[in-house]
Amino acid sequence: MSQTIYEQIGNIAINAKQPITVNELGNKLGIVNSGRNIYNYIRGAVTHFRSQGKADIAGRIEGVYTDEKGLYVYQKK
């Protein structure tokens, strides 16, 4: 059974040893010209894991993905 994009994002975050940029994530997922789509996938993955009661994975996703300037993609408002 193949993984959903949210599960792939979660697995990459769990195994990350350092912050991962949006472009690197797009390359790992095989998404070309990712742009805003990757940001939306990351936010969707956080919501997905929180709704399933997996706050540890959601927190890991929040703390690993950055933009090109090093700012974290998912920040609570």
Q: pTM of this prediction?
A: 0.85
pLDDT at 35: 66
Contact between 74 and 65 (Cβ < 8 Å): yes
Tell me the pLDDT of the chain (77 aa) as tens digits: 578 899 999 999 999 999 999 889 988 988 876 667 888 899 999 999 999 999 999 999 999 998 888 888 876 55
Task: Round to whole Å and give the CA distance between 61 and 16.
Answer: 10
pLDDT at 74: 73
pLDDT at 33: 66
| Domain extents in the chain | 5-64
CA dihedral 60, 63, 66, 70 (to 10 degrees): -150
What secondary structure letter does DSSP report for 72? B
Task: Round to whole Å and give the CA distance between 13 and 16.
Answer: 5
What are the backbone angles phi and psi of residue 39, rounded to the nearest 5°? -60, -45
pLDDT at 15: 95
